[in-house]
């Protein structure tokens, strides 16, 4: 008998995947967690029925959410990841030799534990000596650390349930205070096809806090519509117009220096959301 996963994050559309094997399912303190092996996308992390990452396409998300801010900042030394318990953002961050410390603040320890077991290709840098894992509330952590980080990456689940507080103006103000005077923040900010109101709201909230706010897009097949947005808020450096003086001396599969600039060129309907 064939087993299929149906993800219905969007009320009037669904994505389905044929499952080869279920590797783990558990109800954590915060959410329902599953890791399955699929025929099309390999092993896949699912939280509350929503696909978070897969072996086949994870590099797109993790490279773009990490290298855009880290190549924008001239000398990133200390980086905070809020969420991102799979470890993919940490893996990409630690490819930058200037980074001395990367802190992963994940509310659900089970995500970290199970990804280490079943998604080692993604979580492989979580044991790096420069990585510190803090299990706890990201909002509280940001509030308690002022003027400390060069880059903050909000690698959250969708803006429902436990992650809802990670979207919005009050949290972005706290992030600004947590950043150094030339700090940069980035967040995944959903799809403009299905959730244009979320994209518009996030950009407006970020604009109210950061003098430079830019939206860019990336193609991620397992995210609804396959067309995903990220929002950058910067105190000083414009990610679209900086000169990248450092060499890209590590391997990437999606990010390039040319793409760094071109990804900020938006389709008209997305550009309209940022006005």
Q: Known binding site for S-methyl-5'-thioadenosine: residues?
A: 31, 106, 137-138
Q: How many CB atoms lie within 10 A of CB 40?
A: 14
Specify the residue for token string 């558990």: 26
Question: What is 113-152 written as a DSSP string?
Answer: HHHHHH-HHHHTTTTSTTEEEEES-HHHHHHH--S-EEEE
Binding residues for spermidine: 62, 86, 155-158
Q: How many CB atoms lie within 10 A of CB 87?
A: 30
CB 188 within 8 A of CB 155: yes
The catalytically annotated residue of 12, 155, 205, 247 is: 155
User: Which residues are bridge partners to 217 per DSSP?
Assistant: 229
Q: Is 151 left (phi over 0), alpha (psi -120 to 50) or beta?
A: beta
Instruction: Tell me whether residue 155 is one of the annotated catalytic residues.
Output: yes
Question: β-strands 179-188, 227-234: how paired?
Answer: antiparallel
Compute the distance between CA of residue 2 and CA of residue 86 in angstroms, rounded to an integer. Answer: 28
Closest to 149 in 3D by CA, of 92, 213, 84, 93:
93
Binding residues: 31, 62, 86, 106, 137-138, 155-158
Closest to 238 in 3D by CA, of 215, 213, 207, 221:
213
6 burial via Cβ count (<10 Å: 0-12, 13-18, 19+): exposed
Catalogue the active-site residues: 155
């Amino acid at each position: 008998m064939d087993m299929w996963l149906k993800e219905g994050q969007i009320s009037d559309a669904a994505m389905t995947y044929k499952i080869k094997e279920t590797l783990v399912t558990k109800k954590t303190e915060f959410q329902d967690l599953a890791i399955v092996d699929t025929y099309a996308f390999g092993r896949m992390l699912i939280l509350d029925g929503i696909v978070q990452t897969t072996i086949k396409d994870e590099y797109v998300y993790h490279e773009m959410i990490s290298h855009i801010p880290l190549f924008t900042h001239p000398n990133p030394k200390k980086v905070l990841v809020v969420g991102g318990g799979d470890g993919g953002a940490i893996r990409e961050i630690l490819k930058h030799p200037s980074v001395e410390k990367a802190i992963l603040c994940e509310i659900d320890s089970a995500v970290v534990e199970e990804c280490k077991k079943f998604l080692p290709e993604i979580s492989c840098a979580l044991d790096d000596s420069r990585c510190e894992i803090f299990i706890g509330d990201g909002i509280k952590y940001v509030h308690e650390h002022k003027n400390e980080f060069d880059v903050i990456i909000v690698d959250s689940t969708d803006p429902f349930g436990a992650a809802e507080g990670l979207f919005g103006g009050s949290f972005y103000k706290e992030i600004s205070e947590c950043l150094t005077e030339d700090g940069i923040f980035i967040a995944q900010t959903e799809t403009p096809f299905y959730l244009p109101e979320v994209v518009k709201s996030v950009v407006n909230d970020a604009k109210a806090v950061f003098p430079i706010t830019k939206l860019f897009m990336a193609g991620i097949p397992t995210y609804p519509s396959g067309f995903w947005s990220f929002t950058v808020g910067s105190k000083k450096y414009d990610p679209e117009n900086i000169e990248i003086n450092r060499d890209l001396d590590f391997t990437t599969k999606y990010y390039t220096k040319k793409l760094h600039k071109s990804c900020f060129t938006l389709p008209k309907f997305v550009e309209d959301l940022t006005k």
